[in-house]
Each structure stands twice: as structure tokens, then as C-alpha cells.
Amino acid sequence: MSEVILAKSAGFCFGVHRAVDTDYDNVNKENIYTYGPIIHNEEVVKDLESKGVNVVNGVEELATVNEGTVVIRSHGVSKSVYDAVKDKGLELVDATCPFVLKIHRIVEEESKKGKQIIIIGNEKHPEVEGIMGWSVSPVIVVDSVEKAENLPFEEGKEVCVVSQTTFNYKKFQDLVEIISKKGYNIIIRNTICNATEERQTEARELARRADAMIVIGGSSSSNTRKLYEICKNECDNTSYIQTLNDLDMESLKGSDCIGITAGASTPNNIIEEVYTNVRAEFYGDVR
């Protein structure tokens, strides 16, 4: 029997849900800003802009803000950004994901003890940039086998390894294995959040049984990109879309099983729209 399967874990994670709700709770304030887009989803950002929420991209733009409220997004920021907001006398509303805040505390404490901080993640991702800003000494970011193999420290070096919360769990394990063999005095903190691990595992299992996979999320969403890579590795006919308008229905024809998943910053209404229309298109089921 033909079927369309929607992953149970698709959509907003706890941290993103909390950040978006925080932003909407503050829309009635005058001069409200988010430090960077509240989440990596253009539809949500556009809606908030229509309600008067402006985006401040970086410390230089923050310097031009003289009054109002700044919401820190779920990705978190460096200590220097907190200091800059306070120095300007602006109201600060912190919507950083609690799992990210935990990493900030680990990095701050362990770096003060003199340990070398290694972050497994994407150096250009805002979450990683924020984590780096809590270390009192230079940080090394590792995202590939080559970088893990070429770490420059001598045997016995005191090292603390943490991870970007949305990093690929299997890749994290592979890189940790390489680093662990170098003979460092090492502390490994698996800071990939449970929701990410669950979402990636479910996506992999669903892609293995599906003839076609649809992954929904913003074009700049790191966790959605990782979901796409996982699904593509298991199911060659995998599509990465932001909204229903991006979906090529022709590519799904002949599929007995169509799987759908979505990144942690994808709103439920977009997921539901894709799911409902795919069912209606192929199986005449509009629920």
C-alpha cells in the first residue's frame, strides 16, 4: 500500500520554539531587535519584520541602536555581545537555547582551568561563533577528518572537546575517535542535543525505506542541511525545499513510499502544507 510518512520529530525543537515565542511575546514593544535572524527560516523572519521586529547583524549595527530591546536568538552569542548590549543601556531578552548556554558554561570554566578548547562544528555557524566567545584562550574548531588528524598539540595536552548542538552525531563520534587516539589528557562532552540526535536517527531510518524523501527547511539552516545529507546518503531521490512552492511533484511520481522530515527551524504550518498536498496529489487524501 502506498503511503506518505511524516517524521514525528519534524519541526521546531524546544530551543527554537522558545526563541520564536519569546520574540512574538515582545512584538508590542517599541524598537525591538533580534541579534541576527531569530531562526534560520525566511518565512518566520519576514512575518516578524511585518510586526516591527528588526534584525541587527553584528556588533557594528548594534552600535547604531540607541534605545529599545534586543532579543538574543536561540543560537546564543559571545560574552562580548552581552557586554555590548549592556554598555548601550538596552534591554536584553535572552532566548538562547538552554543546551547552548550549557556549552557556554563548560567552555568558560574549562578554558579558565587552562584546557585547550576544541569545538566540533562549523566555524562559520553563529552558534559556534558564540561558543568561541566564551573561552578565555584561543579555540580550535574541527569539522573534518583532516583537521582532527592535524591537531598541533603534543601528547599529554589538556583538552576539552565540545560539539555544536546540531552537528551530525555519527560524524562527531568519528572525529572524537581520531582525537582520542592522540594521547591528550582529554575531557569529551557530547553536547549534541537529544532532539538533534533523535531527528537525525529518525530521518536516516525513514530514508532507508522511502522511494523519495522531502526535507523542509530554510536555505541557511545548518541542521536542515545535515538532515538533507543524511537522507540523500540513504535515498537518492531526496529533495531539499523551503516551502511547497519549491517542491517538484513530478520527481515523486512512481514512489510507493514518500518520507517527509523538516529541520528544527521549520514552522508546523509549512510542514503540514507540504504533507497535506503530497497526500492529496498522489493518493487523493486531504485528511
- Active-site positions read 127
Q: How far apart are alpha carbons 166 and 177 in whole angstroms? A: 19
| Helical (H) or strand (E) element with 169 | helix 169-180
Q: Are 166 and 192 in contact (CB under 8 A)?
A: yes
Which H or E run includes 259?
strand 257-262
How many of the other CB atoms lie within 10 Å of CB of 144?
Answer: 10
Give the strand pairing for 53-56 and 3-6: unpaired
Instruction: Report the C-alpha dihedral over residues 152, 154, 159, 162, rounded to 10 degrees.
Output: 30
